[in-house]
Amino acid sequence: MKCIGCGVEASIKEFRYLYNPRIDASVTLRQCAKCQAWLVVDEMKNEATRIMQAGEDPWGKSAGIENVTQAT
Amino acid sequence: MSTATQTNITNAESKEWWWVAERERSPRLDYLRKAVWKKGAIGGNYAPGIKVNLERAQLFTESWKENEHDPIMLRKAKALAHYLENKTIFITDQAQLVGYVGTLPNTLEWYPEGASIVNEEVYNEQSVIPEPEKESLELIAEINDYWSGQTAIDKLGRVLDPEDIVKFMSGVIGWGSPTSAYGYSGKDYEYILTGKRGFEDILDDIDANIEAVEKETKGMPGPDILPLYDKLLNWEAMQIILDAVIDYANRYARLAKIIAENFETDPKRRKELLQIAETCERIPAQAPRNLQESFQLDLFIQVIARAEAYEGAWPGRPDYYHGPFYDKDVNIDKRLTKDEALDLVGEFMIRAHEVGMFGPRWTREGLQGITGTWVWTLGGVNQDGTDACNDLTVAFLQAARLVRVSNPTFGFRWHPEVKDEVMRECFECLRHGLGYPSMRNDPVLVENTMYWYGHPIEEARTWVHQACMSPCPTTKHGFQPMRMASATANTVKMVEYALSDGYDRVVSMQMGPKTGDPRNFKDFEELFQAWVQQMEWLMKILVRTVNLGRVKDPEFFGRPFLSAISERSVESGLDAVSPEGERGNCWVTFFTWVENADSLAAVKKLVFDEKKYTMDQLMTALEANWEGYEEMRLDFVRNAPKWGNDDDYVDEIMVRCLREVARHGKEIKCPSGNNWPALPENVSGNIHYASLVGALPNGRRLGDALYDGGISPGPGLDKKGPTAVLKSCAKIDHVKDGRAFLLNQRMSPTQLNGDKGYTMWKSYMKSWADLGLDHVQFNMVDDTTLRSAQKDPEKYQELIVRVAGYSAHFVDISRKTQDNIIQRTVVGL
């Protein structure tokens, strides 16, 4: 997997796993060991899609009546 | 329409309730609210400027050294008296109530006699060391050196089973310390807060007891009189501390007079200061006569209890015990207007909010944003079963919306006779985003209290929240003086160990019993029986520890003040913590509970019923933390039934698990010989344990937050709507299957707007009550607000959320906790 922040490429296991609050989704947060960026990762594709910024919702809106979770 | 009203409407529409509160509360409450230093840890760390109080540690230790030959109760009483006599005191400008845990407004209390491991944390927590830092560190080191080996926990560690203590101290199976140094006590409010007596009356009773016993100890020798000598010493200790508290209150009286006579120029404030002086000259020596005196007595009791020990909860029923004084002052004597009374009510909440004690890191991580779970109990019934709600019930609910503290919060005891006016006040608090009151089903919980412990119905009806959830009577034989948080289990370890032959892969040690290599399990029953064995082991080890801690506490710690305000101690001469005379009210808090049912159901379905995977394949994936097995992981998440969807497949497993626990809860006994039911709830233990629990068949990885607690479905995993959640929960018998069951629900502030929203909520509550659930609590805040608060926390300092058994300011909790709350399903009604 390639870090979007610094460009380093490594096995996905080398990117420190942070968490996923929606276990029914494949989107997780991992941290690059080199540049410390928080990366939004698609675990099915083993691909970092973007750097996580404050206030973002990579898992989509909460499940329930205020829109169901959007697939990533 | 005035500009102010228009602005309020705009703020209300945008759910910025904190601006509405700021405009609507009195200038006094506004000042007092803003004068408070934030004491809750933010993401586990204290806010800048918060310092540990060294006066107590220094003065207490000084006296302790001087009285080394005294028995513990006497030694403790003298040390506390020395502290109260010499500690720094202050009166906040505009305050009408006085008394503070600590010395300066930015300080946290510290109890060096409690636990050496906590003392080490004080030394190493650089941000809380007062200036000058070098001298402070030298003093802390000196104090720590003295107490090393002789704290309550040190002494307990020498008598506990070595294997038990190693496993307990690993931090992965339990939470808390088995000592009243770091626990929380119920109170005998029927003795001390009903307006019948002050401390001088108790002193008279103790004098009479001493006189009667001394006749015996000077009489015919024999075995019967031997225990009396210790009782005499205990009574002496109670006398010392009661006198010390009366003197402490008089210090405030003198200070108030000094300020009034020499410094205060505002005539109105001068009059208030003289009123404080008069109050403190009377309270706590004599019984209260009015609302201010009644609140002041309560506050002194709470402050002094926290001078004695780290009280991690605040069991209270303020509307019930202070209600008669409110009625007298506002309705009968008309001594106070409603607004003046509201100022007192709001200030009482703020005084509780400002309390801070230095907590070990596991506390700060498990209770993010607060210093303890102050869940005050409102409503309910009188001992004769009639509605106990009164005007003060309403006043507290109104004051809560004005002062907007995250702590204390309320638990409201609902029953069928509660008036609509009161229910509407509860709803308005929720609509204003406070996350409280939690709603409790009073008839169910009264029956539950009687079922598990045999409390008589009149006593069961007095119940208060002992911490966030568990009812506890406030009576002579019913109140529980020592609840140790260490009877708290990280219960997801039950299924984790059932799948690992009792081995904990996170801390790399054999923890639970060897229940077999799961790869060899042939059917679900083998797995389930392994789970039962792990469950029994976990409950036993924690309860063994706690039971011993309890019976040793009078010897290792001592509670002279708690004893002095408890009728059975004043009568018997025993430390209040002694199990003698207590009926028993223990429970095991079950953190991280629902994952057990979801995980067992997933294995049953996909491995044993559908045979889609083998146990070997599952175990390989779990041991790899699901790395490289994402498709399989999603299969276990999405295609195995999850709790909260009214699906009997998993719901029956949940109930079966609970009934095994209930069975075992009657086999293990407390020091009073009574039961140990389970109580599923979480505080923020789901975050604290996230990195201490491995991958599970419900689809989580090591590091993921666990579910948010109690019997709440996993975030986003309840797909069938709120009725399905209630129906799942209703399959549990809320009387016999456990002590109580926490349920978090998140609702839409948009949908629940106005009168229509109230009607919908009431309808939901009727379903909840009809189905016999005992608890529910609500978040009413939308995604947009929460995400905005993550982006610009400075603009959302006053945003409050319900975490689990408590509320916190959203910006004070960790990012992981925030995301966990956001992902809770928003149920539509």
DSSP line for B759-799: HHHHHHHHHHHHTT--EEEEE---HHHHHHHHH-GGGGTT-
Residue B801 at interface with chain A, using a CB cutoff of 8 Å: no
Which of A19, A20, A38, A46 best tests the B interface by mutation, with the highest count of B CBs <10 A?
A19
Residue holding tokens 């379905």? B605
Q: Are A63 and B822 within 8 A, CB to CB?
A: no
Query: Least CB-CB distance to A24: which of B627, B638, B816?
Result: B638
**Which residues in chain B are contacts of A23 at CB distance < 8 A?**
637, 698-700, 704, 714, 716-717
Q: What pLDDT, in 10s, does the model give residues B267-314?
A: 999 999 999 999 999 999 999 999 999 999 999 999 999 999 999 999
Q: Are A22 and B823 within 8 A, CB to CB?
A: yes
Query: Mean pLDDT over residues B204-229, rounded?
Result: 95
pLDDT at A70 over 50: no
User: How far is A69 from chain B, CA to nearest CA, in Å?
Assistant: 9
Give the pLDDT band of residue B492 (cuts 50, 70, 90).
very high
Query: Mean pLDDT over residues B487-515, rounded?
Result: 96
Q: Are A55 and B790 within 8 A, CB to CB?
A: yes
User: Residue B171's pLDDT is what?
Assistant: 87
Q: Are B630 and A43 within 8 A, CB to CB?
A: yes
Q: What pLDDT, in 10s, does the model give residues B698-720?
A: 999 999 999 988 999 999 899 99
Q: Are B631 and A44 within 8 A, CB to CB?
A: yes
CB atoms within 10 A of CB B763: 11
pLDDT at A63 over 90: no
pLDDT at B485 over 80: no
Q: Are A23 and B816 within 8 A, CB to CB?
A: no
Closest chain B residue to A14, measured at CA: B627
| A vs B: CB pairs below 8 A | 96
**Which residues in chain B are contacts of A57 at CB distance < 8 A?**
783, 787, 822
Query: Least CB-CB distance to A24: which of B627, B701, B717?
Result: B717
Closest by Cα among B389, B447, B468 to B423 = B389
Residue B303: φ, ψ to 5°: -65, -45
Residue A71 at interface with chain B, using a CB cutoff of 8 Å: no
Average pLDDT over chain B reads: 95
Q: Which of residues 16-55 of A touch B (CB under 8 A)?
A: 17-26, 28, 43-44, 53-55
Contact partners, residue B723, CB within 8 Å, separation at least 6: B646, B767
Q: What pLDDT, in 10s, does the model give residues B752-769?
A: 888 999 999 999 999 999
Q: Are B826 and A66 within 8 A, CB to CB?
A: yes
Q: What pLDDT, in 10s, does the model give residues B446-476?
A: 999 999 999 999 999 999 999 999 999 999 9
Q: Are B791 and A22 within 8 A, CB to CB?
A: no
Closest chain A residue to B636, measured at CA: A24
Query: Mean pLDDT over residues B417-432, rounded?
Result: 97
Q: Are A20 and B701 within 8 A, CB to CB?
A: yes
Query: Mean pLDDT over residues B335-345, rounded?
Result: 98
pLDDT at A71 over 50: no
Contact partners, residue B426, CB within 8 Å, separation at least 6: B397, B412, B437, B439
Q: Are A23 and B698 within 8 A, CB to CB?
A: yes
Contact (Cβ atoms closer than 8 angstroms) between residue B697 and residue B642: no
Query: What ipTM did this prediction achieve?
Result: 0.90
Q: Are B823 and A64 within 8 A, CB to CB?
A: no
Residue A9 at interface with chain B, using a CB cutoff of 8 Å: no
Average pLDDT over chain A reads: 85
Contact (Cβ atoms closer than 8 angstroms) between residue B470 and residue B448: no
pLDDT at B15 over 90: no
Residue B624 at interface with chain A, using a CB cutoff of 8 Å: no
pLDDT at B163 over 60: yes
Residue B794 at interface with chain A, using a CB cutoff of 8 Å: no
Query: Least CB-CB distance to B700: which of A23, A61, A66?
Result: A23
Global pTM reads: 0.96
Give the pLDDT band of residue B169 (cuts 50, 70, 90).
confident
Query: Least CB-CB distance to A62: which of B637, B700, B823?
Result: B823
pLDDT at B8 over 60: yes
pLDDT at A67 over 80: no
pLDDT at A68 over 60: no
Give the pLDDT band of residue B184 (cuts 50, 70, 90).
confident
User: Residue B4's pLDDT is what?
Assistant: 67
Q: What pLDDT, in 10s, does the model give residues B546-587?
A: 999 999 999 999 999 999 999 999 999 999 999 999 999 999
Give the pLDDT band of residue B367 (cuts 50, 70, 90).
confident
**Side-chain-side CA neighbours of residue B360 (13 Å):** 20
User: How far is B35 from chain A, CA to nearest CA, in Å?
Assistant: 30
Residue B795 at interface with chain A, using a CB cutoff of 8 Å: no
Q: In angstroms, rounded to a whole number, what is the distance separating the alpha carbons of residues B798 and B193?
A: 33
User: Residue B710's pLDDT is what?
Assistant: 94
- Reduced to 3 states (helix: H, G, I; strand: E, B; else coil), residue B801 is strand
Query: Mean pLDDT over residues A51-56, rounded?
Result: 85
Low-confidence winner among B31-35, B338-342, B642-646, B809-813 (lowest mean pLDDT): B809-813
Q: Are B637 and A23 within 8 A, CB to CB?
A: yes
Closest chain B residue to A19, measured at CA: B704
Between B505 and A71, the higher pLDDT residue: B505
User: Residue B828's pLDDT is what?
Assistant: 82
Percent of chain B with pLDDT over 70: 100
Q: In angstroms, rounded to a whole number, what is the distance separating the alpha carbons of residues B738 and B771?
A: 16
> What one-letter code names the amino acid at B669?
K
Q: In angstroms, rounded to a whole number, what is the distance separating the alpha carbons of residues B329 and B311?
A: 31
Low-confidence winner among B180-184, B448-452, B615-619, B715-719 (lowest mean pLDDT): B180-184
Q: Are A56 and B787 within 8 A, CB to CB?
A: yes
Closest chain A residue to B699, measured at CA: A23
Instruction: Point out which residues pair with B52 in neighbouring strands.
Output: B108
pLDDT at A69 over 50: no
**Which residues in chain B are contacts of A25 at CB distance < 8 A?**
716
Give the pLDDT band of residue B106 (cuts 50, 70, 90).
very high
Q: Are A55 and B791 within 8 A, CB to CB?
A: yes
